[in-house]
A = this chain, B = another copy of it.
């Protein structure tokens, strides 16, 4: 694993430079024009080299339902999602592979999988996802998605809560399982990180949060949760705690420089100050926020307040893809309509920094990842600038971020290991993966979610929507 990238285009302060990059082991050893060759030579002529990006929030098994859930807001969408969530480890494995492949081929070298656990097979679900990510070779942040309150409690009651028959495990049982998963799978040196990841205040008890804080402190783990994704959650926090969800999380000591929070759509200016003070990271999931009608997260305000922001695809039932470049593009230009002053708009180079270094910082690796810096780990992506979607030659980063790059990733290295070459993943057989995904699925659109039917009238009432005929969505 010693090699020299020759003649790569990289961004520098004033435009671009053509350089050679020496990688020794898992580390960037030198960056300079005309270096002596060490190890294998990789010809990078007409190719752009960037640090790998973070797909900083996703739920891999949602791949099985991508494209099929009708236009619904989060609370009803979740009801449908869970009615049809996969209950087989073999599917968890395949969707983790698929998520890794799509992330790699759109510029990501790290994936944060807020992993939905199969009830009764929680530990095995984690084991399965870890195995898939290790086979692919992507840097994997596995965040077992835990919650201990019934699904309906994620919707404000409005003083009138319908019955819910969903049954979860207790906080104690969950934390015990998590402890075992940490013992077994948390191996930073092997590129696998376990996170404590209570889904969010909407479905988690104080006890569960406290247990996660304790575990994350004991093992120096990152913390990862959803935060104020919807207006309903904003209402719920007031109903549940009499304060904003951010104030609550701050009070219980959950916010820190190791804490990353997905969505953050409905925060007040005071909430934003707390995120900045605690050095928490916002994971921006623009496509999911649009698809579910959650809103536009105030990303320009976060940046002005000094809050670290990075990007996620979110699960592919709410996006419905794992194309990180698409999430970065939309997550950058979306905010131009929220502030008339274009001098505040995100530039393509800032987007790259958010996606790479922003992710590294958010997951406690700012000193090891996220930039083309001698001494950092070699998590690198090489883009083919002769691809039609990156032509004609203009500003390579401008076009990568603002265009619609299609199959532009030539090569990917994680920890110095090349896992994509000539646009193809080398560690697993993607043709086999496609065939298995095909074989284990069917074109079916006439399904009907029982739980949506059960929740819908209550949701509409609480959210102030007119009573409406329950439609057969198609």
Chain B nearest CB: distance from A473 CB in Å?
7
Chain B nearest CB: distance from A63 CB in Å?
7
Chain B nearest CB: distance from A53 CB in Å?
15
Set B15, B68, B290, B389: member contacting A445, Cβ < 8 A: B15
In the assembled complex, A422 has its CB within 8 A of some CB on chain B: no
Quick one: CB contact mask for A421-434 with B, threshold 8 Å, 1 for yes? Answer: 00000000010011
In the assembled complex, A25 has its CB within 8 A of some CB on chain B: no
Number of interface residues of A (CB under 8 A): 93
Chain B nearest CB: distance from A71 CB in Å?
4
Known: A330-B330, A443-B395. Is A296-B342 also a contact (CB below 8 A)? no
Complex-state Cα separation, A15 to B347, whole angstroms: 43
Known: A337-B293, A391-B438. Is A406-B403 also a contact (CB below 8 A)? no
Interface of A is mostly: loop
Q: Which residue of B lies closest to A322 (CB)?
A: B404
Q: Which residue of B lies closest to A394 (CB)?
A: B68
**A445 adjacent to B16 (CB under 8 Å):** yes
In the assembled complex, A393 has its CB within 8 A of some CB on chain B: yes
Q: Which residue of B lies closest to A434 (CB)?
A: B388
Q: In the assembled complex, which residues on chain B have CB atoms less than 8 Å from the CB atom of A296?
A: 337
**A399 adjacent to B291 (CB under 8 Å):** no
Known: A69-B398, A71-B346. 15 other contacts (CB 8 A): A64-B394, A66-B392, A67-B395, A68-B394, A71-B342, A73-B342, A290-B336, A319-B404, A341-B466, A343-B468, A349-B474, A385-B443, A391-B437, A391-B441, A393-B443
List residues of A whose CB falls within 8 A of some B CB: 9, 14-16, 46, 63-73, 76, 98, 101-102, 231, 287, 289-296, 316, 319-323, 326, 330, 333-334, 336-337, 339-343, 345-349, 385-389, 391-404, 406-407, 430, 433-434, 437-438, 440-446, 463-466, 468, 471, 473-474
